[in-house]
Amino acid sequence: MDGSGSLTREKGFATRAIHEGYHPADEGGALTPPVHFTSTFTFPDVESAGAAFAGEQPAHIYSRISNPTLDLLERRIASLEGAEAAVAFASGMGAITGVLWSLVKPGDEVLVDQTLYGCTHAFLNHGLAKFGVRISHVDMTDSAAVDAALKSRPVIVYFETPANPNMRLIDIRETAAKAHAVGARVIVDNTYASPYLTQPISLGADIIVHSATKYLGGHGDLIAGLACGTKEVMEEIRLFGLKDMTGAALAPFNAMLILRGLKTLPLRMREHSASAGIVARFLEARKEVSMVAWPGLESFPQYELAARQMRLPGGMIAFELKAGNGAAITFMNRLNMIQRAVSLGDAESLIQHPASMTHSTYTPEEQAEHGITPGLIRLSVGLEDVEDILGDLAQALSA
């Protein structure tokens, strides 16, 4: 829960992804951590239960608050993100809503980037806004616009980088410095990059949220979320946003699957990135394609920022076809191996149409205003042989 069992913080990323926070000797020598399938925890007497409830004696009470298997996952992700602590949630949306319910009150302003994951957009604009929280949008790639937007003193500055679905990058260091100058907290959704590519806290962010459903789990078999930050803020989020406001506790079995996925995160991210580079260059060279956004392409508008802020360009690509929206849908319907599905970061290559799928939570006017173009295609490049990914794309493009 508190990250103090961290003996390996000075070790490399891959080593920590495998070993951080677990000592086999504590569990009868078991190489793999046990999964604590328990809803509740017992006390020797009522007094010690009272002390746990009062926060005087650290102890697990109930698995909606904490659980040893979730502790290990939280410790491990905190280490990988360079954060003091983390809290696990039942979904990425559980983490995002749990964090925001904990930190805002009516009358506060939350300043968000113009491009956000569809359900985050809906939660803020159609959800929190109903409770008197003011949501304002700004294009955070535009430094002067950020300066102007911060004049109204928002309490939270929230963004994704790369943003879902159009791959715009936000300069974390610069934006965090500006936000801190007006006293705002900075929350970064690090789902697309994963901590292997970008560690927002080292660049000045205060809180990181994740859909662990994506690269962290990595195998398309679970829904989960995580929040990372200081011990103090994470404890507040655990005892309010998680325990009381959302109740969105992660199941221990799913925590175990994420711990398993994390062991190969560096390997997978390197392979996703390498294959995405080959696919992005292939698409860019095709006459049917009008635009390709992948942070490792020299043509990417924020290529320099990507090189500064990301260890590798990652496995996500956004692109458009010259023939427009109708052609995009026909092309997606012709794919044989690449699966038409939302979600991302899985071993399987996944393709989807944000305007009618993940980002249909935006009204058509909002889509136009927020850069979700009708013909945009989002591709999550999987771990299949890249020749097979190219082959499927080629047959669908030329059919």
Question: Active-site positions?
Answer: 64, 117, 189, 214
Amino acid identity at 57? Q
Amino acid identity at 190? N
Sign of the C-alpha dihedral computed for residues 247, 252, 253 and 254 taken in this order: positive
Nearest distance in Å: CB 342, ligand PLP: 8
Report yes or no: 187 and 152 within 8 Å, Cβ to Cβ: no
The residue number with the shortest CB distance to ligand PLP is 92
- Compute the distance between CA of residue 338 and CA of residue 392 in angstroms, rounded to an integer: 7
- Compute the distance between CA of residue 91 and CA of residue 213 in angstroms, rounded to an integer: 7
Nearest distance in Å: CB 213, ligand PLP: 4
Q: Which is nearer to ligand PLP, 74 or 160 (CB)?
A: 160
- Compute the distance between CA of residue 270 and CA of residue 64 in angstroms, rounded to an integer: 35
Q: What is the DSSP string of 201-253?
A: GGGT-SEEEEETTTTTT-SSS---EEEEE-HHHHHHIIIIIIIIII--PPPHH
Number of C-beta neighbours around residue 272 at 10 A: 29
Q: Which is nearer to ligand PLP, 84 or 189 (CB)?
A: 189
Q: Which is nearer to ligand PLP, 191 or 246 (CB)?
A: 191
Nearest distance in Å: CB 38, ligand PLP: 24
Nearest distance in Å: CB 182, ligand PLP: 25
> Which residues of the chain form contacts with ligand PLP (CB under 6 A)?
91-93, 117, 119-120, 160, 164, 189, 191-192, 211, 213-214, 223, 225
Q: Which is nearer to ligand PLP, 93 or 169 (CB)?
A: 93
Nearest distance in Å: CB 224, ligand PLP: 6
Q: Which is nearer to ligand PLP, 60 or 121 (CB)?
A: 121
CA distances to 93, 185, 209 from 100, in Å: 10, 11, 11
- Compute the distance between CA of residue 153 and CA of residue 149 in angstroms, rounded to an integer: 8
Q: Is 246 exposed, middle or buried (0-12, 13-18, 19+ CB in 10 A)?
A: buried
Phi and psi dihedrals of 13, rounded to 5?
-60, -50
Q: Which is nearer to ligand PLP, 213 or 373 (CB)?
A: 213
Nearest distance in Å: CB 44, ligand PLP: 38
- Compute the distance between CA of residue 32 and CA of residue 87 in angstroms, rounded to an integer: 21
Number of C-beta neighbours around residue 144 at 10 A: 8
- Compute the distance between CA of residue 340 and CA of residue 333 in angstroms, rounded to an integer: 8
Nearest distance in Å: CB 192, ligand PLP: 6
Q: Which is nearer to ligand PLP, 193 or 397 (CB)?
A: 193
